[in-house]
Amino acid sequence: MKRMAEVLGFLFLSLLLCEFLWAEDSHLETVKLESGLVIRAPSVQIRTTSVQPEELKSVPDVKRSSFIRLKFGEKSLCGMFVLDGAGRYRSLYFDTNGDGDLTNEEELKGVAEGDSKKVFEIKECSFKVGEKEMKGLGFVVVTSGDSINCVLKANWGWKGQIKFGDAERTVIVFDKNLDGSAKDESEAWIDFDGDGRLGLAEMVLLDEKFLYGEREYLFRIAEGDVLRIESEKADDWKGVKSPYEGLMSVVKGEEVIYVKSLDGAFYLPKGKYKVGNVLFSKVGEDGAVWDMMYKSGMELDPENTKEIQTPEPLKYQLSVSPDENSGFTFSLQTSAGVWNVSLYRNGERLGNPKVLIKDESGKTVHQFNFTPG
Ligand SMILES: [Ca+2]
Ligand SMILES: [Ca+2]
Ligand SMILES: [Ca+2]
């Protein structure tokens, strides 16, 4: 009889939970991403080598070269940089069809960016991950001076549609390590506001609980490139106003929870929290996505706290010392003090301010960029 009561109790509990627990699967497709989304793709650093990889059977005859090798499951794709006499990158041959022959490939000249960077775009290649054919995908390779490292971004990702309330939203998972697999990824990006752009505040950590609206969500990658979303609704939610679209981490006891704003408010169950990192995104007049990140530390009690403030307006604080040895220092500050603020424009951290020193006639006698430290 006792056993029966336990079983019934369990069934009753399961039924109760089912009222709140909701799960949805969303199939993700491997797709080539538009350049506006590639901006958000993480960079992978790889080493170049002077040794010709054994996969390359035939290469153009050049004086100086270095090689790169990318691994996809069992297979790899290789490329060869042509270097000039000073060891700088001149051009790139990449084995886009994986036949081990670089003499049937186009010579990519690369586009110079700044003083030492060069960007090579491999628009389309074909490779296999397990049984899966990846066709027409490519990379952006950035070299820097005569360094032995170069940086790569995949121009592909996994794309799908998920449902929040009545709206269908696009979700993207980037291939952070360029291995052609989504299963080892740790984050998903969701165009929460449906504007076709991704702000830093639209990133969701996979396998980590996050709160959005009056619900708690858990995202994870399941078999067959499926994004599984589990969601649960608890009682007693309170909204705290937010000036921009935002994402923040809060700490309750030992637990870190991520909270995403909805329609100008962060929703949290009753209780007391400590705010960790806060991220705000907004679109500027020129259409660029601006992200601001700062460490908070503020005590948060949704029953009493009315608003999460932004540390705007921001300003560069320059300190000039008359002592020649100590020179200049700078920090990004707010009127409320130093907040460890970082600013990004379209995913790129803002450069350091340029300083011009002029003589009495207004002629620039010295010019340099501040560097942190
Ligand atoms: Ca080839
Ligand atoms: Ca991966
Ligand atoms: Ca968006």
CA 356 / ligand 3 centre spacing (Å): 37
Return the pLDDT at 65.
Answer: 95
The answer to whether the CB of 281 falls within 8 A of the CB of 289 is yes
Q: Which residues make beta-bridge pairs with 157? A: 31, 174
Token representation of residue 335: 């009127």
CA 202 / ligand 3 centre spacing (Å): 7
Which ligand is closest in space to the CA of residue 178? 2
Return the pLDDT at 87.
Answer: 86
Mean pLDDT of the region 44-72:
93
More confident residue, 100 or 125: 100
pLDDT digits (tens, 9 = 90+) for 240-273: 999 888 999 999 999 999 999 999 999 999 999 9
pLDDT digits (tens, 9 = 90+) for 276-293: 999 999 888 988 889 999
Q: Phi and psi dihedrals of 155, rounded to 5?
A: -95, 15
CA 279 / ligand 2 centre spacing (Å): 25
Token representation of residue 315: 């300003």
- Measure Cα distances from 95 to 60, 106, 179, 197 in Å: 12, 9, 17, 32
CA 260 / ligand 2 centre spacing (Å): 25
Return the pLDDT at 241.
Answer: 96
Residues 6+ positions from 35 with CB-CB distance below 8 Å: 155
CA 106 / ligand 1 centre spacing (Å): 9
CA 200 / ligand 3 centre spacing (Å): 9
Give the percent of the chain with pLDDT over 70: 87
More confident residue, 19 or 95: 95
Angstrom distance (rounded) from CA 306 to CA 241? 6
CA 283 / ligand 3 centre spacing (Å): 9
DSSP character for 49?
B
Q: Is 167 a residue whose pLDDT tops 60?
A: yes
More confident residue, 137 or 203: 203
CA 196 / ligand 3 centre spacing (Å): 6
Instruction: Grade residue 347 by pLDDT with cuts at 50, 70 and 90.
Output: confident
More confident residue, 164 or 59: 59
More confident residue, 346 or 25: 25
pTM over 0.85: no
Instruction: Grade residue 166 by pLDDT with cuts at 50, 70 and 90.
Output: confident
CA 271 / ligand 3 centre spacing (Å): 30
Return the pLDDT at 271.
Answer: 93
The domain ranges of the chain are 42-154, 157-300, 314-369
3-class SS at 2? helix
DSSP character for 263?
T
